[in-house]
Every structure is written in structure tokens, then in C-alpha cells.
Structure 1
Amino acid sequence: MIQDTQDRRVRRTRMRLQQAMLELLKEKDARSITVRELTQRADVNRGTFYAHYKDVFDLLDQMEQDLFQRLTQLLSSYSTQDLQRGLTPLLTDVFRFVRDDPVLRLAFLDQRTQDSFFRRLDQLIYEKCQEDWQGLFLPVDQQLWGCCLDFLVSGAVGLARGWMVRGFQEEPEQVAQLANRLILNGLSLS
């Protein structure tokens, strides 16, 4: 019982700090955020902050790791058999995740972290495709499979990036259907 109470307090404190970080990132650059203003915004003391994180960038890194863990869980929730019935459900869930996750949206807005963030996203999707989804596509030799993956991953992440730039004008289902058609049919959109 005591452990559960402490775990809830720890989770609540971390959530408050993360929420404060998200609010501050809307106002200023990550390098400009101090522990002092972060703890004031979260209404926790500095000692509590340092009990959980080394510095502001450690907090950001933990938030990014959590985001990638949640995305990995989402991708892993679809089996090869699920995907053989169609990619649209997975793609719809991924595009909803992209639209709805505040950490991902703020990572996109921060120009300095954008490239490393999207490289890591590319790598995650590439590895998932390589490990679990190769059987979905026509058999090709390993060298060509790597080229196919480069093309698929760059296209999917680029589509998500462009969708973000345009302010999520289309619904996730529409973007997912387009991605599905492009993956399966190339540019012959008939």
C-alpha cells in the first residue's frame, strides 16, 4: 500500500513536470528553460525535480523515450497477419498518434531537435519493418529489401512531416488511405 501511494505521487510529480515543460516549450526554446521556472510552473521544489531528473534536457530525453516506447507499443500491437488484411488500420492509428501526441508535436516545432527526432523515428520504423513486416511485400533479395525499406520509411515519415507542416488539415484516416495507396501502388493512384 505504501509503495502504491509513493508510485502514484512519483507519477503525479513527473506528470506535472512534463506538463510544465510542454507549456514552457510553447513559449520558448528548450535551451532557455531553467529548472527554476520549470519547478515554479509545476509547483514542485527544485530538490524534487533533481530527485527525478539531472537537468532540463534529461527531462526532455525521458519524455522522448516515453514517446518512442508508446509508439513502439502501437506498432507492435499489429501482427503480420493483421497487416496482411490491410495497412490502413495501422497507418490510421499512427497518424492519429502523430496528430494527438503533444510531445511529438513540440519536438517537431523545435528546429534543433527536429532532425535527430525524425532520424530516430525513421530508425524505429525501419527496424520494425525489417524485423516483422518483410513478409508483407514481394520477395526481394536482402540488398533490394534495404532499398525498399529506405524508400518506404522516408516516404511515410515525410508524409507525416508534411501533414504536420500543413497543420493537420486532412483527417488521419485520409492520410492513412493515401499512404496505403502509395505504399501498395506507388504513384499510380488509380
Structure 2
Amino acid sequence: MSAQREVRAHFDRTSIVMYQAYPDAIADVAVARQKFGPPFSTGRMTWIKPSFLWLMHRSNWGRKSGQERTLAVRIQRSGWETALGHGVLTAYEPKAHGSPAAWRAAFDTAPVHVQWDPERTLRGAGLPHDSIQVGLGRAIIERFVEDWIVSITDLTPLVQKLRKHLDTGRAEQASRLLPPETVYPVPAELVRRLGM
């Protein structure tokens, strides 16, 4: 199962990039202030994803309403690993939880939800390995906003360029422009918790 689930990301020694899609009103504030502020709400779960192509699939390359802007949110690796350490999978898995009742109790109180979905190709087809997405709940989102963010970059122009390449049959050029992603070294103590 381990090869099927790996965290692939754009990261360096101290930070890792998460991708998120937002409407203009949220993106403009985030890029200008280099942190999220109203109308962004800390009162509801926000999902962060280290896979660029998974977000492209989800936002339909920025064509979905309310997901027109793609942001690269660079956060501290320590924050990312804190989130993973608080995470509970969105579905019961015997190896990770022991019993369905134990999973349900943990899930209902978890500040962070972890979901695995098939990784995507440039054209949106599902791949045989999974990509992680992490839902930050109200109990932890404040730390994400106030403490973990290193920088916020608007990737919308890149997304538009990639989309144009794809629309005109130039997948080769598009793939050369994709943000780099390599396998992230998930701490050994988190592997079982994350169902890896």
C-alpha cells in the first residue's frame, strides 16, 4: 500500500507549498497582506493540498465558480507535520484505527481531516497512486493563518498559461511549466496514522 500513498510536494528544508483555489475577494487580500484575512473565514474547515494537478482537477483549471484564483501557500514544514499529527482519516481503515467505533470517536473530535484521492494527470485522468488533502478545522486554522504561512503567491497567470497550452494541444509545453513535486519524507510515527 505504501507506494500507492505518498505525499508528493514542492518543498525545501524548512517549508512546503500547499495549493488552494479561491475567489478574487479572498485571493486579493491574501496576496496583498501575505496572510489570509476577511472575507476568508477561520470559522470553517479549509483544505490544503500539496498536489498542483489535483487542485487543477478540483478547480477545473480555475474555471469553477469561486475557485478562479490559484494560490501557492508556502507554510512551515513544522506546521504541516503538526497538522498531519492531528489528522484523522475521513474513512475507517482497520490498520489505522482498530475499530469503526474508535475511528468514529476520533474523527468526530479531530481538528484535522485527512483524505486520499487518486492523483491526476495533466488531462485530469486518475492515476494508480493517491494524493493527500488535509482539512484544517477551526481548532487549528488560526495557527495556519497566523503562524505557519511563509508566503502566498498568485499562480493564476501560470494556470491560465497552462490551460491555453492544453486547450491548443501543447501538453508537452504545459508539463514543462508544472511546479516541481517530489516525495516528501513523512515522519515514521505518522505513517500508520495517515494510512500509508
Q: Which is greater in Rg?
A: 1
* Structure of greater relative contact order (alpha carbons < 8 Å, 6+ residues apart): 2
TM over 0.5: no
Using structure 2 for the length normalisation, give the TM-score: 0.23
- The structure carrying a bigger helix percent of its residues is 1
- The structure carrying a bigger strand percent of its residues is 2
